[in-house]
Chain A
Amino acid sequence: MAFAAPPRAIVWVNVAEVEARAAAWQAQHGAPPSPALHSALTRAAGDEALLFHEALARGLHEIDPVVRSGLARNMRFLHPGGGASDAALYQRALTLGLHKSDPLVRRRLIERMRRRLSAAELEPVSPAALRAHYRAHPQRWRQPARCDASLVFLSAQRGAKLEADGKRLLAKLRGGFPPERAFTLGDPFLHGAQLRGAAQPRIAARFGNQVAAALATAPPGRWLGPLPSPYGLHFAWLHRRAPAAIPPFEQAAPRVLADWRGERERAALHRAMQQLRARYQIRLRGPQK
């Protein structure tokens, strides 16, 4: 004999809440949210309502000291002069349902619920699990390629002569000038003329993208250029290039751990939110725009 699934409980979201989010978005970005984004904001408001509902269902409002003292304080404000204890005032606030309407209590409970769900499945990490995570995402720990190279520079201040000077220089270099001394044929360059173990981003930062790109792909042992930069023309001799590599686990371990933990927390929250969404129906109420 089959049983029908029990009807999902309804959690209500006020339209005004969604509209407040849309207004905040517009203040932030200077334009109203797109329809797709509006749906996302509605969903976010629904998720908050779920978190709040779940926090109450789990009785977080009974164990949270901030909620307890906040509600007692509200009662004291509403009925000053009474001699009741905090505990009694708190109980009275619950009877009146104040814990469901106070915005600070609501914000507090949502935040606690979110943290609880994030940490729910966070088991102590084993070295084996970390190693598996390391092996599963090699690109996350990747170190860039590195070059040893010698460079020569011709300044843009040479003006109209620059191109011809460059051709002459290249001919001389290819005629067999020792790469390490070749810079003496050019103009002074503030960042020097020798690269040792330099990674691509640092080469780009000092010599511009074209020099970095040439050194990233060209074979070693011949003159490259002319390579333009914001400063003029560069000529480069690549001595050797160490390819991009994944550092060994022991070296990457701290980053692997942080990455693993962050991923677990996000995944746990995501799964828990999906389960919550499946258990309840979200309905909008209030005047539609």
Chain B
Amino acid sequence: MPHATARTTRNTGAALALALLFACSAEERGAPQGFAPARVDAQNASGRPYSEPRAACADHDPLRQALFGELHLHTVHSMDANMWDVRGTPDDAYRFARGLRLGLAPYDAEGAPMRHAQLERPLDFAAVTDHALFLGAVSLCRTPNSPVYASQRCQIYRGELPPPGGLGIFGRLAGLVPSPEESGLDSSDYAAVVSLITTGRSKDLCGEGDARCLAQMDTVWREIQEATERHYDRSSACSFSSFHGYEYTATPGLAKVHRNVIFRNGKVPARPVSFIDVPEAVELWRRLQRECLDAGNGCDVLAIPHNSNLSNGRMFGISADARALPRGEQAARARLRRNLEPLVELTQIKGDSECRNGMFGVSGAADEFCAYEKIRVMTHGKPPEDCEEGMGFGALGGQGCQARSDFVRYALIEGLREAGRIGVNPYQMGFIGSSDAHNANPGDTNERSYEGWRGALDATPAKRLGDGDSAAIANWAGNPGGLMGAWAEENSRDSIFDAMKRRETFATSGTRLTARFFGGWNYTESLCEDAELVKRGYAEGVPMGGELPPPQSGAEVAPTFVVSALRDPGTAAQPGGLLQRAQIVKGWVGADGQFHQRVVDVAGGANSADVNLQSCAPRGPGHGALCGVWRDPDFNPQQRAVYYARVLENPSCRWSTWHCNALPEAERPAICGDAKLPKTIQERLWTSPIWFNPPAS
């Protein structure tokens, strides 16, 4: 592609000269071809152009490799992390991702951290996604020579003055929002403080026209970008990819409708989009379209919704207002969303968003494995009220109803229904898992070494096993979060971003098991024994994230799927868990308008494996690898359907069980013996779905 070539050469005069120099010396030393670093290549080994200057990756597999990463992580720049004495910077976060040691809050007088964390296995890629919301104000309040540093508002935010109304630590945010005098609203309770966010920025703090805060926001955004650039390995070693990103933190009425915005390369808009400036998701997508996709400078972007489990039905519900729009406008919005939101975050520290049994309008046998990290149920001891087709408010305050559309499985089915109604499926989403940790520690998802996720607030085992101060989630109901896998040719930004765009990604609950998932019309039963399984998977069908092509004439009139999974190999010190079963989940809308689900074991199955709860040692049989081929026996060629695979490990100790066991019996908090705290979990993997749309539709 001449366009890409032109761009790379323009940027690389000096680097190229150096590269030539180095190439000669490498040659002299007899280094093999392909290992010379500091060279600039226009394209990768498969001939796909790079969107920014870099050397082609030596480690390149056209059949793709599983890369593990994290796209949801907060550092010192996030308004909440900062209040919790988190001091880790984006640089620290990337260093941690690459396997270096990280200090954690609390800190001593010399600023030395009192805790440390380190990954046994580095990540392949990561993004720092600090809250765009208050990005400028937080920095102004934390920079001693800023003009507002000594203001009363900054002192409230820093905790030096008590927040109004005796609110807990979150009340400190009252220092950043407009005052009651400025907004005409009361700020005496938590909900009011959060709702004040939508009324704009404080003039006291941000000055006329918000100029001071916006300018500072741009500065911090540049600093984050600089760190992200520093850690991107552009050499042929391709040891690590960093992605530019931020979080768009929309919380209308305490319902979480948050998204992470992730960019393909170093071409990013000058300012992140903040909920204060852009309170509607559709406006976020339009801004991203205008300022990035249409900028004509190589900018490319996607947004990833997360924590739909705390959205009171708002993340994926179709509101009456939305249905009242002209049909063409509804379809246009759905196309915009589908284009910008190819992925969804399925699991994280604040719980699992895959599915919940017994939701309104869902038919099919109960799925026992939905009972996993359901934080609202765990925290409050009972399931929240069902919104049915409606929506609610207040999940972040532990309130309001929960809708089936809070869960991704039913959002996928809602998408099929929308495709029938307006002709576009807005929810054609692949899966990722993330941590959303606020300790600058991406990918720190090991149950055994969990150190909490919010700075000084849950810095001790006793605090982590306590209730904490959040109405939405008890500390003990949180978890270390998940990881994301991407099937990419190589560890470069372009290759991984391409995988995200085509949804060839998977989510895990934090361990590093892997799976392939292919769907097609002609796969044979023997595919699992074929050494060329992966090659045939691609050649004769579509991988996870894809859409089944129309059946060829003469083919079977039902699609066949193959799931092939490998256990997490673990480390020498901590072997990975054995696999228990691989399943396929199918969703569709029935003629009755009901949402239907079916879950089938396609390899492995129920076994006698369990855990010694005193030592946490796993016991019993399991599998190192699982492979199964499944033909859909109920396939209806006139009906849209969505299929994804789920792979379960044998049971293992939940982090809280490791914590309880480590404490002397006399010092264990009551929760350790409480039935509402699960003792074990089954770590798991979810592949992105494969869709079927009838050719005529």
Contact = CB atoms under 8 A, between A and B. Distances in A.
A188 B110 CA distance: 55
B589 to A, nearest CB: 33
B114 to A, nearest CB: 6
Interface string B13-37: 0010010001000000001101101
Interface in B200-241: 229-230, 235-239
A110 B512 contact: no
Interface in B114-173: 114-115, 121-122, 144, 149-150, 155, 160-161
Interface of A: 24-25, 27-28, 30, 44-45, 47-48, 51, 64-66, 68-70, 73, 104, 110-112, 114, 143, 146, 148, 155-157, 183-199, 201-202, 204-209, 229-232, 240, 242, 245, 247-248, 250-251, 254-255, 258, 269, 273
A253 B462 CA distance: 43
B609 interface: no
B532 interface: yes
B368 interface: no
Given A66-B160, A248-B18, A196 B58 contact: yes
B567 A230 contact: yes
A254 B572 CA distance: 33
B9 to A, nearest CB: 18
The secondary-structure label for the interface of chain B is: loop
Nearest to A250: B18
A183 B534 CA distance: 12
B155 A232 contact: no
B566 A231 contact: yes
A198 B124 CA distance: 13
A48 B108 CA distance: 9
Contacts of B512: 205
A184 B532 contact: yes
A70 B59 CA distance: 58
In the A-B complex, the 8 residue pairs with the closest CB atoms: A197-B58, A65-B150, A48-B109, A188-B533, A242-B35, A197-B59, A254-B230, A230-B569
Given A30-B662, A197-B57, A231 B110 contact: no
A185 to B, nearest CB: 8
Contacts of B637: none
Given A114-B110, A190-B565, A248-B18, A65 B149 contact: yes
A248 B38 contact: yes
Contacts of A242: 31-32, 35
Contacts of A51: 109
A240 to B, nearest CB: 5
Given A48-B109, A51-B109, A156-B625, A191 B566 contact: yes
15 contacts: A25-B114, A28-B114, A30-B664, A44-B108, A65-B149, A66-B149, A143-B239, A155-B625, A156-B625, A186-B531, A188-B529, A197-B236, A232-B625, A248-B38, A251-B235
A247 B230 contact: no
Given A196-B59, A251-B38, A66 B150 contact: yes
B22 A248 contact: yes
Given A188-B529, A250-B38, A231 B111 contact: no
Interface stretch (B61-69, B431-439, B553-561): B61-69
A156 B627 CA distance: 13
A70 B515 CA distance: 58
Interface string B34-58: 1101100000010000000000011
B516 A190 contact: yes
A80 to B, nearest CB: 16
Interface string B650-668: 0000000000001110010
A273 B22 contact: no
B549 interface: no
Contact of B37 (A44, A251, A258): A251
A111 B150 CA distance: 16
A69 B148 CA distance: 12
B59 A202 contact: yes
B581 to A, nearest CB: 15
Nearest to A247: B37
A209 B38 contact: no
B507 to A, nearest CB: 17
A188 B667 contact: no
B253 interface: no
Given A44-B110, A143-B239, A191-B514, A197 B35 contact: yes
Interface string B527-554: 0111111100000000000000000000
Between B35, B45, B155, the greatest number of chain A beta carbons within 10 A of the residue's beta carbon is seen for: B35
A60 B155 CA distance: 19
Nearest to A183: B531
A146 B528 contact: no
B276 interface: no
A190 B566 contact: yes
B18 A188 contact: no
Given A146-B59, A194-B61, A248-B22, A47 B110 contact: yes
Interface string B556-579: 000000001111011010011000
B160 A104 contact: yes
B461 interface: yes
A204 B568 CA distance: 11
Given A190-B514, A196-B60, A247-B37, A143 B237 contact: yes
A284 B684 CA distance: 55
Given A196-B45, A251-B235, 5 more contacts: A114-B111, A155-B624, A156-B625, A196-B60, A199-B59
A166 to B, nearest CB: 15
A93 B567 CA distance: 66
Nearest to B45: A196
B92 to A, nearest CB: 10
Between B516, B625, B664, the greatest number of chain A beta carbons within 10 A of the residue's beta carbon is seen for: B625
B677 to A, nearest CB: 19
B459 interface: yes
Contacts of A231: 566-567, 569, 624-625
B91 interface: yes
B460 interface: yes
Given A143-B237, A188-B532, A157 B149 contact: no
Given A156-B624, A157-B625, A196-B58, A28 B459 contact: yes
Nearest to A202: B59
B110 A273 contact: yes
A146 to B, nearest CB: 6
Given A156-B625, A192-B534, A230 B37 contact: no
Between B32, B59, B528, the greatest number of chain A beta carbons within 10 A of the residue's beta carbon is seen for: B59
